[in-house]
Amino acid sequence: MPLKPFRYHKALLNLNIRQTGWLAIVNFLVLLFSVPLQVFFAWEHRQAIGHSPSDFAHYHNLFSEYFDVQFVLMIGFPVLLSMVLFRYLHHRTACNFFHSLPIRRGTLYAHFTTIGVAYILLPLLLNGAILLLMRTALSEMNFFYRYKDVGYWVTVTGTFELLIFAAGVFVAFLSGMSSAQAVLTYILLLFPTGIMDLIFVNLRFFLFGLLPDYYNENTLMSLSPLTDAALNLAYDKNTLQWEKIIVYLAFVILFLSLSLWLYKKRPLEAVSQAIIFRQLRPIFKYGVTFCSMLLGGAYFGSVGNNLVWVFIGYLTGSLIGYFIAEMVLQKSWRVFTHIKGYLWFAAAATILILLAQADITGFQHRVPDLKDIKRVYFSSNSFAYLQKLKANAPFIADGPSQYAEPYLYESKNIETIRELHKEIIKNKSKLTNKDIYPETVFIAYELKNGHRVIREYHLPDGNPYAAYLRRIYNSKEYKESEFGVLNIRPEQVAEIKITPNDSDVKKGLITEADQIHDALEALKEDIMKVEVVPNTIYNSDAMITVQLKTGKNKQFDMPFNDNYSRFERVLQEYGLLDK
Amino acid sequence: MIEAKNLWKRFDEGDVLKDVSFTVKKGSIYGLLGTNGAGKTTLLKTIAGVYQPERGQVTISSQPVFENPAIQERFVFMPDALYFFSQYTIQQMAQFYKQIYPTWSDERFHALHEVFRLDPRKKIHKLSKGTKRQVAFWLLLSTMADVFILDEPFDGLDPVMRKKIKSLLLHDVAEREVTILISSHNLREIEDFCDHIGMLHAGQLVLDRELDDVKSEIHKVQAAFKDGLPEDLFRSVDLLYKEERGSVLLCIVRGDVEDILIEFRKWQPVILDVLPLTLEEIFIYEMGEVGYAIETIPLS
């Protein structure tokens, strides 16, 4: 296909500025009020009342100011823009008018798209310039942001907005209705995360030991630009590395080129159809049916705790989805006789479910060989481990490690874990009702080849599992990694605090060096000695806090176990315990 | 000038145009007639380059129309549902047309102000339906284009304005050899206006003739015979329709008028008249031929 150059039409530019120019002004003003003006008034306030550097701890970057407004603008404005600019495709008389003008489709497209890009970028660059000017002109503005923060803010906001705009334009050419365009754009943007999330949540019903959160937390959320922006931008300094920016911009080019290609194929007479291209309608129909089947399964599976409920969820979800899709396509309520397509879908879905259940990859029975394992993370909770895997975890990014890191390297302990794991697999059929069992074990094998094998199980009380758990929890290695206190020396400690749960009882505080020494040694000895019994709620009246000298937050908290007899004696010696 | 060759256009519901071919000569006015839903609007949009036909091609001056601005700027398409930019005044809309159509004439625009007598600073969307139609003609005529494609253009115009606009269009045809393709369901409207007609039925062109030829081919004959109806008469003429009103026979016959009269005279009619046929009657009888007949409506 020879590329004909797009001709510039002053008439189209004038038309656009007159009709849609207000969008650029709105974009400019919202940005102005939510970023430069916000920073300016914060600065002015600080000038009046004085400040210390710690006042600015929450200023990670320019997204930290009014992020909610920025976020709404970032995901809302580009879609609105694509709807307004390409409204003429979805409106029959406008569509006839524009396409009877002596202007090629490609030229129309180039004009409208360029205008859209300009409406996104010009207000943004102008606000960037204002920020640079403020930074230069106002003293002490450096506490709030650096020059390179401005560059980052402009680049990241621009990239996100262009990506969302390009997706909106792409969908505008697939759809014949503006309302369908808006909905489908957001579905498209959320799709990568949403579908993977649904698939993993549903696979859990069939693959014993699968932990959906592992996949969600790690990779899934950054698959969709919407969740990526929502979860990461405000908390983290560098969510968007340049690699990601390049990927996003590549998608911008892809979407915009596909749109032009679609434009040339678009049957204009199909205005007001939800999906313009006949060939795409089955994809839409069965796509919606499939997703809502998974959603139904996820819902019924989470409330019902039983595979029967999961299947009821599949049936309900897929039926609802199928008829909704059919209603959208037929633009009518009377679709309940169109059942033939559903029967085909049901047959295909049954095969798919059987395949999932067949566990072709042997997921459920995989226990890595001892010689392949580098180390194992073993805990009753996956949260800390998953947070650690996220490079920019907002919750532990700047705090100390409050969470223990129970990594086990000794082959004796790893072997115990493997035996427990095999025992669990052997009893799979008894263990699949997850919520009945109180004890959770989370196992993360980290292999020598860099792979991970991640599993989570819910176990009942008592043997045979409790015996394994006791062996693991009471191993020296486990205790040393579980109880961070064991690894610190007395001279690192600033104070040890006893905080009773009952607030009437007075607090104990140890600050003198020799007392700290004695108490810490006693505490360590108690921890090593006292047996950890799995799934026991300790009768604990107080919390022990060991505060270190360095770092504001560097502290260890643990419950005061009644069996910590030596520690208790030491406290009594110093008269700190009024029991 | 305009040539449509074997056009096929398919919508979701099926074929809307089935192998439509016709030619409009330069400087002529081609009237497109058709039953409801016959595909007139689709055909005009396809000719104007809005729709792309599945098969076939539309050319103007032997150049393809679709996606060809060099040709598209030589014609203006006026759709049945008019479109103006919201909030635009007549003046602003004229400015837009001026930037789009290279043949636009400001003198024409100002001269036509005398005819339309509308304030160019008025916002178009506030005008009435008929007045919007006038604005559309004002703009159309000011483009000085070579070809006008008009879909039901006289809808909503009052009779005076209709006459004025027709004479303006005829003036352009006479002076500048403008070619006009016009569709209408109001046959009287274009009877005195077109020199060529095409009839579209169910996506097919069932008639495509000079209006004069059509009129000289079909005749309404009124006759009365002394000895009742001579049945053999109808075997020797191409009868489209007959009706008896008492002893008077009224029939529509196709063929050369002289030949028909000779046939009738053989039976020594008492009365024999050839009456002029209106376009409306031609339409009805032609459509009857293709199975779109007027049924006797059983009303009580």
Residues A347 and A433 in one domain: no
* Highest CATH level, class, for B213-289: alpha beta
Question: Is A284 inside a domain boundary?
Answer: no
Question: In Å, how far are A220, A278, A285 from A335, measured between CA atoms?
Answer: 35, 18, 13
Q: Are residues A293 and A429 in the same domain?
A: no
Residue pair B222/B186 in contact by the 8 Å Cβ criterion: no
Averaged pLDDT for residues B140-159: 92
CB-CB under 8 Å, B48 with A14: no
Q: Which residue of A has its CA nearest to B80?
A: A93
Domain membership flag for residue A520: yes
Domain for residue A368, yes or no? no
Say what the pLDDT of residue A237 is. 58
Chain A residues in contact with B79 by the CB 8 A cut-off are: 93, 96-97, 100
Residue that the structure tokens 């169109």 belong to:
A338
Chain A residues whose beta carbon lies within 8 Å of the beta carbon of residue B96: 11, 14-15
User: Which of B60, B66, B75, B83 should one mutate to test binding to chain A, selecting the residue with the greatest count of A CBs within 10 A?
Assistant: B83
Shared-domain flag, residues A458 and A478:
yes
Q: Which residue has the tokens 């089947």?
A: A293
Q: Is the pLDDT of residue B65 over 80?
A: yes
What are the CA-CA distances from residue B173 to residues A258, B25, B168, B211, B213 (Å)? 44, 12, 9, 17, 21
Proportion of chain B above pLDDT 90, given as a percent: 51
* pLDDT value at A223 more than 90: no
The DSSP output letter for A63 is G
- From chain B, the residues in CB contact with A2 under 8 A are none
**What is the domain count for chain A?**
4
The mean-pLDDT minimum among A193-197, A343-347, B39-43, B124-128 falls in A193-197
The shortest C-alpha distance from A268 to chain B (Å) reads 6
Asked if B282 contacts B214 with a C-beta cutoff of 8 angstroms, the reply is yes
Band of pLDDT at residue B276, cut at 50, 70 and 90: confident
For an interface test with A, which of B74, B77, B96, B150 has the most A Cβ atoms less than 10 Å from its Cβ?
A: B96
Spatial separation of the C-alpha atoms in residues A83 and A79, rounded to whole Å: 6
Residue B136 pLDDT class (50, 70, 90 cuts): very high
A513: number of Cβ within 10 Å: 10
3-class DSSP state of A438 = coil
Answer whether residue A492 shows pLDDT above 80.
no
Would you state the pLDDT for residue A390? 64
- Residue A492 and residue A477 in one domain: no
**Separation of alpha carbons A202 and A196, rounded Å:** 10
Q: What Rg, from alpha-carbon coordinates, does chain A have?
A: 30
Q: Which residues of B touch A99 (CB under 8 A)?
A: 49-50
Give percent of chain A above pLDDT 90.
31
Nearest-by-Cβ selection for B77 from A95, A100, A278: A100
| pLDDT (mean) for A55-73 | 78
Strand duo B218-225 + B204-210: pairing: unpaired
Asked if A249 and A298 sit in the same domain, the reply is: no
Give B-chain residues touching A278 at CB under 8 angstroms.
12
Q: Can you give the pLDDT at residue A426? A: 82
The β-bridge relationship of strands B147-151 and B179-183 is parallel
Kindly list the residues from chain B whose CB atom is less than 8 angstroms away from the CB atom of residue A270.
Answer: 12
- Backbone φ and ψ for B20, nearest 5 degrees, come out as -95, 125
Q: What are phi and psi of A408, to 5 degrees?
A: -115, 130
Question: What span, in angstroms and rounded, lies between the C-alpha atoms of A409 and A377?
Answer: 9
User: Do A148 and A268 fall into the same domain?
Assistant: yes
> Is A448 part of any domain?
yes
For residue B180, pLDDT over 90 is answered with: yes
pLDDT (0 to 100) of residue A111 = 94
**Region A60-67: what's the mean pLDDT?**
78
Average pLDDT on A193-198 reads: 88
List, in sequence order, every residue forming a beta bridge with B11; answer none if it has no partner: B14
A401 pLDDT band, cuts 50/70/90, is very low
pLDDT tens digits, A285-338: 999 999 999 999 999 988 877 788 899 999 999 999 999 999 988 888 888 888
Residue A1 has a pLDDT of 41
Using pLDDT thresholds of 50, 70 and 90, give the confidence band for residue B42. Answer: very high
Q: Kindly report the nearest CA distance between residue B82 and chain A, in angstroms.
A: 7
A73 and A166, same domain (yes or no) = yes
Supply the ipTM of this predicted assembly: 0.88
Residue A116 confidence (pLDDT) above 70: yes
State the CB neighbour count (10 A cutoff) for residue A574: 13
What is the average per-residue pLDDT within A239-259? 88
State in words which class domain B2-202 has: alpha beta
Collect all residues from B whose CB is shorter than 8 A from any CB in A.
11-12, 42, 45, 48-52, 67, 69-74, 76-77, 79, 81-83, 85-87, 92, 95-96, 99-101
CA distance linking residue A221 with residue A262, whole number of Å: 29
Concatenating the DSSP letter of every residue in chain B gives -EEEEEEEEEETTEEEEEEEEEEE-TT-EEEEEE-TTSSHHHHHHHHTTSSPPSEEEEEETTEE-TT-HHHHTTEEEE-SS----TT-BHHHHHHHHHHH-TT--HHHHHHHHHHH---TTSBGGGS-HHHHHHHHHHHHHHTT-SEEEEESTTTT--HHHHHHHHHHHHHHHHHH--EEEEE-S-HHHHHTT-SEEEEEETTEEEEEEEHHHHHHHEEEEEEEETTS--TTHHHHSEEEEEEEETTEEEEEEES-HHHHHHHHHTT-EEEEEEEPPPHHHHHHHHHHHTT-PPPPP---
Whether the bond between A464 and the residue before it is cis, its omega within 30 degrees of 0, is: yes
Interval A354-394: pLDDT, tens:
888 888 888 888 888 888 888 888 887 787 777 777 654 44
Whether A505 and A470 share a structural domain: no
Nearest-CA distance from B133 to chain A in Å?
A: 14
Residues above pLDDT 70, as percent of chain B: 96
Of residues A14, A105, A278, nearest to B12 (C-beta) = A278
Q: Does position A239 have pLDDT exceeding 60, yes or no?
A: no
- Per-residue confidence at A218, pLDDT binned at 50, 70, 90? low
Among A34-48, A199-213, A454-468, B126-140, the range scoring the smallest mean pLDDT is: A454-468
Q: What whole-number distance in Å separates Cα of residue B201 and Cα of residue B18?
A: 10
Element (H, E) at A474: none
Q: What is the average pLDDT score of chain B?
A: 88
| Per-residue pLDDT at A532 | 74
Exposed/middle/buried for residue B8 (C-beta within 10 Å: 0-12, 13-18, 19+): middle
Q: Residue A469, SS3?
A: helix
From A104-118, A243-257, B47-61, B244-258, the region with the lowest mean pLDDT: B244-258
pLDDT tier at A240, thresholds 50, 70, 90: low
pLDDT for the residue A398: 38
| pLDDT for the residue numbered B297 | 53
Chain A residues whose beta carbon lies within 8 Å of the beta carbon of residue B44: none
On the question of pLDDT at A579 being above 70, the answer is no
Q: Are residues A343 and A470 in the same domain?
A: no
Residues A498 and A519 in one domain: yes
Best mutation site among B100, B143, B151, B152 for testing chain A: the one with the most A CBs within 10 Å? B100
Residue A349: which domain range?
289-363
Considering the domain architecture, whether residues A18 and A160 belong to the same structural domain is answered as yes
CA gap A427, A429 in Å, rounded: 6
Same structural domain for residues A228 and A107?
yes
Averaged pLDDT for residues B36-48: 90
Among A363, A387, A404, give the residue marking a domain's end. A363
pLDDT at residue A400, rounded to an integer: 41
B5: distance to nearest CA of chain A, Å? 20
Taking all residues of chain A, what is their mean pLDDT, rounded to a whole number? Answer: 83
Residue A44 inside a domain? The answer is yes
Is A26 within the bounds of a domain? yes
Q: Which helix (H) or strand (E) holds A178?
A: helix A178-206
Task: Identify the band that residue B1 occupies on the pLDDT scale cut at 50, 70 and 90.
Answer: confident
Q: For residue A42, what are the contacts with CB-CB under 8 A and spacing of at least 6? A: A65, A144
Q: Output B228 or B85, whichever has higher pLDDT.
A: B85
Domain with CATH 3.30.70 in chain B: 213-289
pLDDT at A102 over 90: yes
Q: How confident is the model at residue A517 (pLDDT cuts 50, 70, 90)?
A: confident
